[in-house]
């Protein structure tokens, strides 16, 4: 079946530090990959996505590259800010033929950025 594994948190960084949150997946075929962010007390927001191998999704300084050979979609940011403190979820969809897709989420990684 489809599954997503992401690094367990919490992750605590100082402002302007480099961020990597690892995400690997298991899926048949060619899934689409997503990173969602959840700020405290809010719902999820789509951060970035990639729909095919070697695609790079990017938004707000965050990047992730769809690596089929390593089944990974690691999230990176060169210089984090306090406002980036949130929970980050890696997810995939893998629409079965003729069906509607479901998002499969990782467990989430809580990031805290200190000034």
Phi, psi of 8 (to 5 degrees): -80, 145
Stretch that binds other proteins, among 15-23, 54-62, 70-78, 97-105 (CB under 8 A): 97-105
Pairing mode, strands 3-6 and 23-26: antiparallel
Instruction: Out of 52, 56, 60, 102, name the contact with other proteins by CB under 8 A.
Output: 102
Q: Is 95 in the site for other proteins (CB under 8 A)?
A: yes
User: Is 5 within 8 Å of 71 (Cβ atoms)?
Assistant: no
Instruction: Enumerate binding residues for other proteins (CB under 8 A).
Output: 32, 34, 36, 42-46, 49, 51, 89, 93, 95, 100-103, 105-108, 110
């Amino acid at each position: 079946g489809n599954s997503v594994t992401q690094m367990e948190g919490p992750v605590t960084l100082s402002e302007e530090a480099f961020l990597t949150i690892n995400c690997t997946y298991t899926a048949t075929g060619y899934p689409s990959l997503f990173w969602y962010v959840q700020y405290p007390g809010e719902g999820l927001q789509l951060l970035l996505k990639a729909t095919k191998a070697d695609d790079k999704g990017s938004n707000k300084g965050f990047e992730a590259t769809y690596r089929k050979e390593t089944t990974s979609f690691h999230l990176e940011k060169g210089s984090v800010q306090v406002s980036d403190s949130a929970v980050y979820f890696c997810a995939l969809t893998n629409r079965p033929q003729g069906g509607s897709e479901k998002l499969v989420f990782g467990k989430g990684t809580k990031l805290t950025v200190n000034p």
